[in-house]
Structure 1
Amino acid sequence: MITGKVGTSAPQARRLEFGFVGVDSLGRRYAQRPYPHLGPAVEQAGPRLVQELGRAVERAL
């Protein structure tokens, strides 16, 4: 079985994707709405990505 992981290590990514309400570690107060970007992109491109990766593996073998 071949698996993959898609994501980011950008420190602001989780807060942008899901939003944040509360006080952060520096004492700043936020009521930031979510701006989903990774989730919708994976939903849209995921099936095609899996298909293309499968084709690439078949060609490599």
Structure 2
Amino acid sequence: MELRPHLGATCALGLGLLLLVTSSDGHIGLGKGFGDHIHWRTLEDGKKEAAARPHY
């Protein structure tokens, strides 16, 4: 009885299911990426905001 082909297939199936579960959308509170909490501005808006701030 050879276990290596079954072990490889089981690992591949497990990895595929893990990737499917972790990459799926629709989870509330999960899957937030970098920058989701940042208020992004354009370069021109940033220049205006910087010019309006007092310089010390």
Q: Going by fraction, where is strand more abundant, 1 or 2?
A: 1
Larger radius of gyration: 2
Q: Going by fraction, where is helix more abundant, 1 or 2?
A: 2
Do they superpose with TM above 0.5?
A: no
TM-score after normalising by structure 1: 0.27
